[in-house]
Amino acid sequence: MARRQYRFQVFRFDPEKEEHPYFSSYSLEMDESQTVLGALMEIQDRLDSSLAFRYSCRGAVCGSCGLTVNGSLVLACRTLLSRLPRGIITVEPLPNLEIEKDLVVDMSPFWRAYQEVRPWLHSLDLAPDREYRVSERERSRIDRFVNCILCACCYGACPAVSQHPDYLGPAALAKLYRFVGDTRDRRGYEHLRRADGPQGAWGCHDVFRCTKVCPKEVRPSDGIAALRLRMIASRLRRKA
Amino acid sequence: MHDILGHDVIIAGGGLAGLRAAVGLAGKCDVAVVSRVHPVRSHSVAAQGGINAPLGNHPEGKDDSAERHAFDTVKGSDYLADQPAVELMCQEAAPVVYELEHWGVPFSRFPNGTIAQRPFGAGSFPRTCFAADRTGHVILHTLFEQATRRGVRIYEDCQILRLVSSEGRICGLAVFHLPSGKVVGISARATLLATGGYGRIYERSTNALINTGGGIALAYRAGAPIEDLEFVQFHPTSLYGTNILITEGARGEGGYLINRMGERFMAHYAPDSMELAPRDIVARAIQTEINEGRGFADGYVLLDLRHLGADRIKNRLPGIREICMDFAGLDPVEAAIPIQPAQHYSMGGLQVDQDCRSPVPGLYAAGECACVSVHGANRLGGNSLLETIVFGKVAASTLSADLERLPPPDEGPLREAVLELEKELEALQRPRSDGIPYATIRDSLRETMTEKVGIFRNRDGLEEAVYLIEAMKDRLKKVALPGTSSSRRFNQGLLNAYELGLMLDLAEIIAKGALRREESRGSHFRTDYPKRDDSRWLAHSIATWTPEGPSFSSWPVAITKYPPKERTY
């Protein structure tokens, strides 16, 4: 693979010390098989150790490094330099979340929304002596939602989140459907009610930006649509 | 954050072992988890192939049992594992897998609705339970869900700097709180380390970038004996270039290893087990092919899945396919995968008994950072997830039982440690004209470990490694940070420089331990001593800290049912 000179402009901001954000420019030679995360590590290691960003697995499974690269919401570790257009590469934090420092955002609203949907299997809490029987077909129905790595790219992309900070957002709702669609889950409507309103499934603007940016093809908007159907069905059932 | 926090139990590490222990302790005592990343970012998330349990769901696995599982594990360990601990783990395997399933783990299924199982290396039966090739991901997320349900307190973005002792026992941790840039003390009646492995002291590793082994090194500095650290697992199949893991499940599903001549070369090394021989044997076979010129130019061989067909690859190995497409630009449905061995796992770690107690009062350990020892000289694929869950659970019950004889400690030493560390970090951050950037030292450490303390070892190489590591420790005194910022908040560079000393400590124990052990056993292969030597070395190595470097001694292996025999596959 060829080595080339790359130029980066990276968003910098320490809200405790600085009044305004700014961009730092870096120029470095990188192998084009390297990733944007690799370049950030290189900058931190060789040029400026104070540059802050989140990372862990470097293999697109841990969900740490969701960032805005040239205006697109991506995992930095999965974004190969060879696949970016020539010219300056701009790296910014995820939108819709407060900046902690540089590229590190405060994820607490995202985790609060996650907690809000009570994201655990609601089942009988018995000491099991065998597994529940589940068919591959049943399992595969929730497979996409299970694959969510909670990187918050969808949360950053969501126009409803930017307008209504109380809105749970695509990842939390997709997570809720991961359980509602699980044949082992026994949650009743009272556990759906919190999501059955403008803060939940009905707050989605149906513009599918979550589905477009998701690096794992979770398609949160499908989960939201499926939740709405469940909610209507259980309302009808309760009226009948 | 306050400067001093207090809990009954503090768990360092939010991966599988740490979360399983936290879930077991929640509601029984005041427990908190401290982690350098959010728990779902822990390296456990990257585990792919599965978790072993003799459920007997596979049509060919009807006769499987905990005893067979234990025997396979002991034989795989090259008879260095402690057999009562192995038996405990295998007895607990089925119950913990059912428990995980009831907590929501979406395992793949057989047509009758039971948990699917696939064959893995050196297993006599197909006993590896899996969720496609994302088993670590689904178990970690499920345990985090259970921790959320129980309201477990989690301090994320906190990196441990020191295990603090008071009156001969561990009384808590000093951590760097990244969001404030401050050193914070966490006082605890008991401390459980579940900090994982140290892959990143090697150049080629499947491990996450955060796996620097700090937990093990800090325990060593605090006086905990470190066991069998020379046993480093090299995974046979990491993706050439990035060294991202390509699961053993790919061979379990039927993948072939092919050299440049198009030959299934495992026939020469393990004619019965072929690609499903234990990892140490397959990794050495691949490296031999490469070293003897039968690999491809830059040092790799091929893992060929094409004959499995698109459906099987897409259903059973979707994560592998995604990794190949994202990072190597190839689709394994259409092309063979270039792979090479890479550091993967640490069999060694803090010496603990089978109740997870270390010899240091107040200190416990579970998961990869611990050495029980259930893996001996070589771990079987599918046994690491099992170890984290079983011993995370065991640690929880040990801790709840032990707490009553561990009163709240005196916070004085913790306060002193916080002040000392504040000064130490300040000094580290001070600009210096003769400074050596941390990355320069770190990169030569990684190169040294991969080249001289790797799959094949010998006296000359190991002596050179020891010499180089000692020289690096010297150069570390001048370590410096590139750039000029004085800010402490989220100063990851500062932590990188700090933990480099810890990485060097571990490298020293591994290299000196490998030099001392004049035999070949499991993952530890000495070209100058190519045979196992039970008369001298059927023993664990124990390293303890001294100001002059690690001091070594031996510890007996617990052998009950399975007398050592020659390993053939």
A144 touches chain B (CB under 8 A): no
First CA to last CA distance, chain A: 66
Q: How far is B137 from chain A (nearest CA, A)?
A: 8
Residues in B closer than 8 angstroms to A80, CB to CB, are 327
C-alpha–C-alpha distance, residues B536 and B520, integer Å: 12
C-alpha–C-alpha distance, residues B259 and B239, integer Å: 15
Low-confidence ranges of chain B (pLDDT < 70): 1-2
Residues 6+ apart with CB under 8 A from A146: A178, B106, B131, B134, B138, B141
Residue A1 has a pLDDT of 62
C-alpha–C-alpha distance, residues B484 and A89, integer Å: 23
CATH tag, A108-239: 1.10.1060.10
Domains A3-105 and A108-239 share a fold: no
pLDDT in tens, A36-47: 999 999 999 999
Residue B1 has a pLDDT of 64
Residues 6+ apart with CB under 8 A from B123: B52, B69, B72, B276, B380, B382
- Using a pLDDT cut of 70, give the percent of chain A over it: 99
Residues in B closer than 8 angstroms to A179, CB to CB, are 104
Residues in A closer than 8 angstroms to B209, CB to CB, are 41, 55-58
Q: How far is A68 from chain B (nearest CA, A)?
A: 18
Hey, which residues of B are catalytic here? 235, 251
Mutation pick from B97, B141, B495 vs chain A, by most beta carbons of A within 10 Å, is B141
- Residues of A (163-192) whose Cβ lies below 8 Å from B: 179, 182, 184-185
Q: How far is A239 from chain B (nearest CA, A)?
A: 31
A142 touches chain B (CB under 8 A): yes
C-alpha–C-alpha distance, residues B218 and B196, integer Å: 13
Strands B232-239 vs B337-346: parallel, antiparallel or unpaired? antiparallel
Residues in A closer than 8 angstroms to B41, CB to CB, are 54, 56-57, 62-64
Residues 6+ apart with CB under 8 A from B45: A57, A61, A62, A149, B136, B137, B140, B141
Which of helix, strand or coil describes residue B526?
A: strand
Residue B134 has a pLDDT of 97
Mean pLDDT of A142-157: 98
Is A50 within 8 Å of B327 when comparing Cβ atoms?
no
Residues in A closer than 8 angstroms to B40, CB to CB, are 62-63, 149-150
Tell me yes or no: is domain B418-556 CATH 3.30.2010.10: no
Q: Please check the confidence at residue A163 and state whether its pLDDT lies above 90.
A: yes
pLDDT in tens, B166-221: 989 999 999 999 999 999 999 999 999 999 999 999 999 999 999 999 999 999 99
Residues in A closer than 8 angstroms to B37, CB to CB, are 54, 56, 62, 64
Domain B236-341 class? Answer: alpha beta
Longest dimension (CA), chain B: 69
Residue B30 has a pLDDT of 98
A64 touches chain B (CB under 8 A): yes
Q: Please check the confidence at residue A236 and state whether its pLDDT lies above 90.
A: no
- Is residue A219 within 8 A of residue A230, CB to CB? The reply is no
Mutation pick from A50, A116, A180 vs chain B, by most beta carbons of B within 10 Å, is A50
Is B487 within 8 Å of A150 when comparing Cβ atoms?
no
Could you say which DSSP state residue B354 is in?
A: T
Which part of chain B has CATH 1.20.58.100? 418-556
> Among residues B511, B510, B502, B513, which one has the least CA distance to residue B465?
B511
Is A60 within 8 Å of B149 when comparing Cβ atoms?
no
Least CB-CB distance to A60: which of B103, B326, B493? B326
- Is residue B45 within 8 A of residue B61, CB to CB? The reply is no
Mean pLDDT of A51-80: 98
Which residue on chain A is closest to B328 by alpha carbon?
Answer: A33
The single residue listed with the structure tokens 């077991």 is B24
Mutation pick from B45, B182, B429, B494 vs chain A, by most beta carbons of A within 10 Å, is B45
Q: For B90, left (φ over 0), alpha (ψ -120 to 50), or beta?
A: alpha
Is B114 within 8 Å of A133 when comparing Cβ atoms?
yes
Could you say which DSSP state residue B152 is in?
A: -
Residue A154 has a pLDDT of 98
- Arch. (CATH architecture) of A3-105: Roll (3.10)
Two tokens at B405? Answer: 């004889």
Q: How far is B145 from chain A (nearest CA, A)?
A: 5
- Output A195 or B298, whichever has higher pLDDT: A195
Is B208 within 8 Å of A57 when comparing Cβ atoms?
yes
Which part of chain B has CATH 3.90.700.10? 236-341
Q: Which residues pair with B173 in a beta bridge?
A: B163, B186
Domain boundaries, chain A: 3-105, 108-239
Distances (CA, A) of B291 to A238, B340, B455: 71, 12, 12
Q: 0.95 exceeded by the pTM?
A: yes
Q: In what order do the strands lie in the sheet with B51-52?
A: B51-52, B128-129, B117-118
- Cβ pairs A/B, distance under 8 A: 183
> Among residues B136, B156, B137, B148, which one has the least CA distance to residue B13?
B156
Is B483 within 8 Å of A146 when comparing Cβ atoms?
no
Mutation pick from A61, A120, A133 vs chain B, by most beta carbons of B within 10 Å, is A61
A22 touches chain B (CB under 8 A): no
What radius of gyration, in Å, describes the C-alpha atoms of chain A?
A: 21
Is B46 within 8 Å of A59 when comparing Cβ atoms?
yes
A79 touches chain B (CB under 8 A): no
Q: What is the ipTM of this complex?
A: 0.98
Residues in A closer than 8 angstroms to B497, CB to CB, are 49
